[in-house]
Amino acid sequence: MMSALAFAVGGAFAAASPAQAATPPVMITKVYYDSPGSDTGSNASLNGEYIRLTNKRSTVINLKGYYVRDKAGYVYSFTSDFKVAAGNSIIIYTGKGTNAGTKRYWGRSWYVWNNDGDAAYLRNSSGSLVDSCSWGKGSGYTNC
């Protein structure tokens, strides 16, 4: 009888598995870390390198205070209100350009993401890690 009770109690605990981590509200969904062609440092080449963030919620998310960084500490910050509609993505290009709609520009004059391996981190306004994506040498981009 004791073993049946222990099994029943053990079974109840096994059935009540811990909740899986919730999907982050915003996720890094793609990093194009090796722009097409030679790395010439031209603005067109720099803008061939980008990171895509996607709102995974069914409501608008304001990214004010969020920031993206790489292993070396290069940081792109959302310093003012920037709202992303439910299910929409934005792209942050490495080079220069005019921010409009879902296209943002880091304004850098050299590359951020290392072609032979790196990591991207997305943090919220309190500095908590929201999402990350890492890669090794590969095809030039990774879907996260």
Enter the tokens of residue 125: 């306004």
pLDDT for the residue numbered 21: 58
pTM of the predicted structure, to 2 decimals: 0.84
| Among the listed residues 48, 58, 34, the one whose alpha carbon sits nearest the alpha carbon of residue 95 | 48
> Is 86:123 a contact under the CB 8 Å cutoff?
no
What are the structural domains of the chain?
A: 22-143 (2.60.40.1260)
Cα 20 from Cα 23, distance rounded (Å): 9
Q: What is the pLDDT of residue 115?
A: 94
User: What pLDDT sits at residue 98?
Assistant: 97
Angle at 56 between CA 79 and CA 78, to 5 degrees: 5
- Tens place of pLDDT per residue across the chain (144 aa): 444 444 344 444 344 434 445 889 999 999 999 999 999 999 999 999 999 999 999 999 999 999 999 999 999 999 999 999 999 999 999 999 999 999 999 999 999 999 999 999 999 999 999 999 999 998 999 999
> What distances in angstroms separate CA 73 from CA 35, 111, 139, one per listed residue?
20, 13, 23
Q: CA dihedral defined by 123, 129, 131, 132, rounded to 10 degrees?
A: 90
